[in-house]
Structures are given as C-alpha cells and as structure tokens.
Structure 1
C-alpha cells in the first residue's frame, strides 16, 4: 500500500470517527451558511407576494404592482413574482411574511394593532391634509433606519419598502346636513380604530365600529346616520347612493398601508437588486398617492354632479371648533402607548417633523 493511499484511508477513518452529534452539527452549520448566502447576481430569484385585495383594486394596481413590474423590468426578468391576492396565503399578511409563506406583503397595521401599535400614528386627527405628504413622512420614519422602523418593523423581522397613507377621512352623513357641529350631536357615526372612536365621541356623536362592507346596510336600516370614510372608496360600496353630505375641512386622520419584505429575503438579494427595489418602491409610492389625490377630486366631482351630493365647506371659525378636540385624542393615544411601554412621543415627533419638511 502506498503512502498516499494510507493517508486517504486515515483521513476517511478520522472523518468517520467523529461523534454523530458533531457530524450533524457540522452539517447543519454548512446548510445554515448556504441559506444565509446572498444570491449571485445572475441567479434567478422568485418571490411570493401576498395581499388581501383583488388585483384590480388601486392599492395593488397603482402601488404594489407598479413596484414589482418595475423590478422585473429593471432586472431583465432575473427577479420574478408570484402574486397571491384576496388573502390566499391567509388573512394575516404580517404572519405570512414572518413564517416565510410570503416574501413581500401588503400589511395593514390597523389589522395588526397588537404587533404594530405605534403605526397607528397615521390614524391620529389633525396631523395632515395631503396624503402624499403623509405617505412620504410615514415611509421615512418606518424605513429600516427610521425611528418607527427600528422600534416596530425590524423586531417583527420585516423591512418597509414603502408606506401609503390613505386620503384623509371625511365625515359623511346620510340625511343630516352637517352645517355646524351641533348638527351631528348624538348622531350614530361609523368609526374605525381607537382614534376614530375617540374623535367621533369628542365631537358629541356616537361612534359605531363596523366594517366598510356593513355601512350600506346599516345606513339603509337607520342603525347609523353617517360614517368616517374617504371619497375614493365610496363607489366600490355604492355609498354615494346613501351618503348625501360630506364635511370639507377637518383633518380626521386616515390609515396606513405598509408594503414590506421579509428581512431574511432582503438579506439574500444581491446589492444591485436591492437598489432596484429601493428605486421602484419610491416611484410606486409617489404614483399611488398621486393617483389617490387625483381620483379623490374626480370622484367628489362625479357624485356632486351625478348623485346630488352636497359638500359642506366649513368656515375657518367653524372648522376650528371641529378640530378643537383633536389634541385631546392625540394625548389619549400617547397615554395608550406609554401604558404599553412604547415611546409614542418619539414617533409622533418624527412623523410631524417629516411631514413638515
């Protein structure tokens, strides 16, 4: 037997002589290292996208789809996407991200209030009137290096791609002309979230928490008199037929929509693909909020002309009366965050500061 063959036999015996536990640990370490290795620039990358909407709804068609189409084009098809709409991967899209069922998802913080309480800053009244301004602010503070991103999203294992803040709510009424604050006293009004409920209560009305799909029947039966909602969503639920008045002026707040990626997925992407995502997300955010603003105006004009809708524009003095309770709603939210051990003041200051820039 040659010295070389003897050496090979010795090495083989040495390897086989390792304890089974050690061999399994080494094998597991190699697999983990392979899983954590970023994809090579030329590798095909297939990503799964989850959301709760139809693929025709503007939140996907004018937002998420614009982003993924741009990335696919910029990478010449290296990155491809399989989209699962209408809750096909589960109604909890944040959980789908965290479990690895999805790589990208549209997350609605209001539906994940226990995990994302600080994101409800976007629901507070009196903070913004322009949804593009609010979307840019929310995107900045919820980014990986932003105060909200570090406090809330990174601990959940997800990374913001971009945020959308919906056009601010208006107060819509069925039969009551809301010319002044006294007109809505005691009226039953649909509200969403803690801040919406507090806002309606502070105005002297009675908040009723129901989904938007229940608003039409509730108005028809007279179990509610009005609703906090926005113009852009009215036609989808035939609400212009029943909501004959709206109040223009008070900043009732809105809600945030988060377009996010799993951290583990992001870390595996080549740097150039990460850059394509960053650029596509910024353009998609701007496209979506611009589309929302333009269509808010066109829908309002259409229902005024075609449905006999009346827009009540408050005087500056009357508008100030409506907004007078809003600071108290914000203080209550800060109290909620403090009780939960969250630094709501830091998030509020950042959101306000970015919105003012």
Structure 2
C-alpha cells in the first residue's frame, strides 16, 4: 500500500488520464453525431447555379450545424440524369437532389407556373414568388411536392428567358414565325407555339451542335446561360427586353431523410436554404447587364423590340397563362388557384 507521501504525485496523472479518456469519448461521440447527406446535382461545377446556390447552401448549412453535418456532393450527373434525380431521391439513393420541374413535367405540371411568359421581369421576383408557393403550407408544397415525398430547401428562378438566334434578328412578333427554337419543355413549348415558332425540346448541351448544323435557328434562353453552353460562338442576335418564361430548379430533400434529422439540423438546412435562394437571385439580377455587355463583345448583337411590339407580344403571350391554368383545371389539378397565387406573390 502506497504511503500518503506518494498520493499527491498520483493525482495529476489520474486526472490527466481521465481527461484524455473523456476527450476521446467526446471525439467519438461527435463523430457518431455527424450526419452525412448525399447530394446529387445534374449541373456541372462550372455552372453559376452551383457556385451561387449549391456551394453557398452546403457551406452555410455546415457552418450552422457546427460540425454535425457533412455533405457528399455529386455534381455533373455523377449519380444520374436530371430526369432521374427524383427517382433517386425517392429510392433513398440520394438524400438531396437538384430537381428541374421542366425535365419531369408529368410530375411537376403545376410548377410550370413560373415558366409562363410575361409574369415577372427579374430573377428575384420569380424566385421569391415561387419560393412562397413551395414553402411548407404553400399550395405547390401541398399539391405537388408533398405527395411525392419531398420538400424544397432551395428555390431558383432564372432571369426571364430571352431569344438568341444564329441569323434572324427578332424585333417584331412576326419575326418569330417559323423559327426552330430550343425549349426546355413544359410551358416554354406553349410560348414558342403561341408566337408561331417551332419548339424543339432538348437539353442545354445539345444547343451548340444543333445551331452549328443549322437544325436549330436559336433558343429561348437566360442570357447568363449562353456562355455555359458556348452559344456565343454561333449566336449573332439576342432580344434583350422580352420575358419569354423562365426555368426553375430546386434542391429538395426526401421526407425520409428529413424525418431522421434532429430539430437543430433541420433548422440549419432551412436557414441555409433561404440564404442560398437569396444569394442566387441577387447574383443573377446583378450580373444580367454585365452579361449583355460581355456577349456583345463576343459578337452577339443585342436589340430591343421595335416600338409597340413588346406590348403586342406580351398581349399575345398573356393568353398562355389562362390556357395553361384551364388545361390543368380540366385534369382536376388546381391550375387557376396556382396561377392566382403566383401572380399575387409576384406583386408583393
């Protein structure tokens, strides 16, 4: 048995040993508490939506979660094509995915409301309006996303689509007639048809070769996406004051993954979603005039519609929204209710 003289010298060692053990246990507990979320995106790392929405979303969520959250990010269709990501989400192969409703229009017919022409003039207008409809309790959340077992974290509406062409300048309604224009599907097909153009549905990467071959005359496109797909190398004209619809993409999480998360991580993802939604739309609206100037330097000449023609175009396009809503109403889908809600949200 040790004498009392040795006891004081043993205590510091014991305390240090206990402290080290607790530190190891604490580290192990933290490692066990860290939640990994698999995020599948169809966009390439170079796309401005990745740099201004996906990356800020993950960075902010990680920061707010204080080390309890980790993302496994798979961009550029590494886990699947854009049209397949909803299936990956529902199957559990991914926890969060980038869903573009126009590519799965049979599942997201109501979300096409934000793709209708002449409804908003800036990315933030469209983004805020759409976000209000897909948030918890919103009409799109309840009628479209919830039945599919997913909820939206980040909403992105692009700047209103313009028209870029290889040869013919579009400055009057009649100039659209007969043009073979690329669309992303959904309501954009209705827009092209209404103005007398021929809609050609195809993914972005196919635009350049099609315009180069002359099988496509041009595209309905957000100007900031032109360089993403190298369209400035073949396009010669762009009409800068039209609003020919938009394109929506969202980052959605499965209800399965959501319900497994503790409240603090749900809050982190929700706040990060709001942050990324705002970051992206502000970036797009700030960059739009700069992009026009850059494209003109590349040889894509910008023009506005001739006097009176923008008003005539918008009047012609205005009927599309009512036709869209009526067609959905006939299929017992709340098209008119969604259109009314979206217009109200844009006006706020």
Aligned: 1:49 with 2:43: no
Corresponding position of 1:333:
324
For residue 316 of structure 1, report the CA deviation from its aligned partner: 5.6
RMSD across aligned C-alpha pairs, in angstroms?
2.1
Corresponding position of 2:229:
237
Deviations 1:10-40 (A, max 9, x none): xxxxxxxxxxxxxxxxxxxxxxxxxxxxxx9
- Report the TM-score when normalising by structure 2: 0.86
For residue 102 of structure 1, report the CA deviation from its aligned partner: 1.1
User: Higher mean Cα deviation, 307-316 or 239-248?
Assistant: 307-316
Corresponding position of 1:353:
344
For residue 43 of structure 1, report the CA deviation from its aligned partner: 2.2
| Cα 1:270/1:166, change in 2 over 3 Å | same
Alpha-carbon distance in 1 for matches of 2:42, 2:198: 30
SS at match of 1:289: helix
Residue pair 1:131, 1:289 contacting (<8 A) in 2 also: yes
Aligned: 1:279 with 2:277: no
Residue pair 1:106, 1:260 contacting (<8 A) in 2 also: yes
| Cα 1:88/1:205, change in 2 over 3 Å | closer
Q: List gaps (5 residues or longer) in structure 2.
A: 1-29
For residue 241 of structure 1, report the CA deviation from its aligned partner: 1.9
Residue pair 2:325, 2:335 contacting (<8 A) in 1 also: yes
For residue 315 of structure 1, report the CA deviation from its aligned partner: 4.9
Corresponding position of 2:112:
120
- Report the TM-score when normalising by structure 1: 0.84
Runs (4+) of structure 1 moved beyond 6 Å?
none
SS at match of 1:227: strand
SS at match of 1:249: coil
| Alignment equivalent of 2:333, drawn from 342, 345, 348 | 342
For residue 119 of structure 1, report the CA deviation from its aligned partner: 0.8
User: Higher mean Cα deviation, 121-130 or 88-97?
Assistant: 88-97
Aligned: 1:223 with 2:215: yes
SS at match of 2:33: coil
For residue 250 of structure 1, report the CA deviation from its aligned partner: 2.2
Count how many residue pairs are aligned between Structure 1 and Structure 2: 318
Aligned: 1:163 with 2:152: no
User: Higher mean Cα deviation, 292-301 or 234-243?
Assistant: 292-301
| Alignment equivalent of 1:88, drawn from 59, 78, 93 | 78
Alpha-carbon distance in 1 for matches of 2:222, 2:118: 16
Q: List gaps (5 residues or longer) in structure 1.
A: 1-39
For residue 182 of structure 1, report the CA deviation from its aligned partner: 2.6
